Structure formats: C-alpha cells, structure tokens
Amino acid sequence: MNPRVSVIVPVYNEGEAIVRCLERMLREMLLPAEVLIVHDMPEDTTVPYVERIARTDPRVRAVLNTYGRGPANAIRFGIDAARAPVAVVTMADGCDDPRQIDELARLVDRGVVVAAASRYMPGGQQVGGPRLKRMLSRWAGRSLYTFARVGTRDATNSFKAYDTDFVRQVGIESRTGFEIGLELTAKATRLRLPVAEIPTIWLDRPLGESHFDLGRFLPGYLRWYLFAYGRRLSREKLTARVRKPAVPAPRGTEFEQTA
C-alpha cells in the first residue's frame, strides 16, 4: 500500500533515544505512512536503532542525506525522497506531539499546502526552551499572522505538514537551519495559497541538549520573515527566482537539533 503521509525526521547522533520517539510515533499514527529517519553520515549513532525497528516495522527507513550536512539539507533530502503526497516534518527529540501527525496530514488532504502545529493560537502552549528564542518566535509568528496574513500564528515552528507537489514546485532555498518552515509558509503566502493551523503543546526536549545557534540561524529567519510581506507572486515568477541547487554544504557543518 502506498503511504498517504511521509514523516521526515532529521537526526544527529540520537542513539538509543530515537527508540522512544519512534515507538510513540508508530503507535499514534493511523494513516498509511512511511517514516524517513534522515541522517548525515553512515556512522550516525541513530542508525543501528532505526534499522532494528525497521526489521519489524516496514514503515520505517533510515535514509542517508547526500545534499550536505545540516538540518535544512536533511529536510530537503527527506522531502525529495518522500513517496507520499503529504510530508510532515517533525523532530526526534520528543518536543512534538505525534498524535497530531494524522491531523496535520488530513488538513493537507483537504487542500491547504502548509498545515502548521501552532504554539501561539488559542489552545496551544510552549513549555520550556530558551526565553529569548521563545520571545522572538512568538513575536515573529503573531506579527506575520496579523500583518502579512500568513495563515498561522506560528510560522517558525518546524512541526508542519506540506503538500509535497507544492514544495517540489516552489523549491527550498534554505541551507543552514530550521527556517524551512518559515520559508515555505512565506512562499505559500506570496502565492496566496491556503495555510492552516491547529493548536499544539510543545515540550522542551526531555533528553539531551539543544544547541540552537540563534546568531547563526537568525539571518535565514529574517530573510523569510521579510519575504512574507511582499506582493502577490505568480508561481512562474516565484520558481524563476529560486536559486539552482548550490554546492553541498561543507561536510564539517554541525547538525543541530531543535524544534
């Protein structure tokens, strides 16, 4: 049976911690799905645990990213490898609620091109995480919702579902951090395509440590924040401005996990 949703999970040396995340995900998803665990190097400590689970659950695949290291490249690679018409990006650290994967996917089934899990709409909540990052994210989400009418109050959250045809048509230009969620939301807004949201409760990662580098990733977020405010674009004009695939990022680039 062909999957209806492809779940993209970028990982970096999660080790045994991935088991709990995958077990919850596989238990909660009801739609026919594939789960792509995207890693940057064959020796990633996550891989043996994923392969062990894959032997008993054919929905799971460990996928080696060849686009260059880093979360943006891993997500790009995962969406390109997806076999389903809907792709859901979620993190491996337990911050996102796997019960909502089906709900997000069904919104895309109904016609939206981006479905966001929103921490900042009524019923949503963010528990924990760096205070400055929370403040900037909330301010960006609410200002984009109010003034750019992006369709979600949480444009920066990575936990989103996408119409895979839409993503492949408009392309992904991000190459560093997790700004892909904001990029695709901004592009849908400029094309006047539907974006929707559902409330989510985001919990700071229970295991390990996040190394989100605000100074390094902020320029990418700022670029797409400003892009969302532009005039309406046709699909032809948008795709014409997308950069061609760049030379892969240097293999020494650190992959950092965050929600």
Q: Is the pTM of this model over 0.85?
A: yes
Provide, rounded to the nearest whole percent, the portion of the chain with pLDDT above 70: 88
Contact residues for 185 (Cβ-Cβ < 8 A; gap 6+):
114, 116, 144, 150, 151, 152, 155, 160, 195, 224, 228
> Which of 180, 202, 72, 179 has the alpha carbon at shortest distance from 129?
202
Task: Judge whether 180 and 224 are in contact, CB under 8 Å.
Answer: no
Q: Which band of pLDDT confidence, cut at 50, 70 and 90, is reported for residue 40?
A: very high
249 vs 160: which has the higher pLDDT: 160
User: Residue 165 — φ and ψ, nearest 5°?
Assistant: -65, -40
Instruction: Report the distance separating Cα 206 and Cα 208, nearest Å.
Output: 7
pLDDT in tens, 210-246: 545 555 678 889 999 999 999 999 988 898 876 544 4
Q: Is the pLDDT of residue 81 over 80?
A: yes
Instruction: Determine the pLDDT at residue 180.
Output: 95
Task: Judge whether 39 and 219 are in contact, CB under 8 Å.
Answer: no
Instruction: Report the distance separating Cα 57 and Cα 53, nearest Å.
Output: 6
Mean pLDDT of the chain, nearest integer: 89
Mean per-residue pLDDT, 42-67: 97
> E strands within 12-113?
33-39, 60-64, 86-89
175 vs 214: which has the higher pLDDT: 175
Instruction: Determine the pLDDT at residue 248.
Output: 43
Answer left, alpha or beta for residue 145, where phi above 0 means left and psi between -120 and 50 means alpha.
Answer: alpha
Instruction: Report the distance separating Cα 44 and Cα 136, nearest Å.
Output: 32
174 C-beta neighbours (distance < 10 Å), count: 23
pLDDT in tens, 134-174: 899 999 999 999 999 999 999 999 999 999 999 999 999 99
Instruction: Report the distance separating Cα 234 and Cα 190, nearest Å.
Output: 8
Task: Judge whether 181 and 72 are in contact, CB under 8 Å.
Answer: no
Q: Is the pLDDT of residue 187 over 60?
A: yes
Q: Is the pLDDT of residue 114 over 50?
A: yes
> Which of 224, 140, 153 has the alpha carbon at shortest distance from 190?
224
Q: Which of 60-64, 76-80, 135-139 has the least mean pLDDT?
A: 135-139
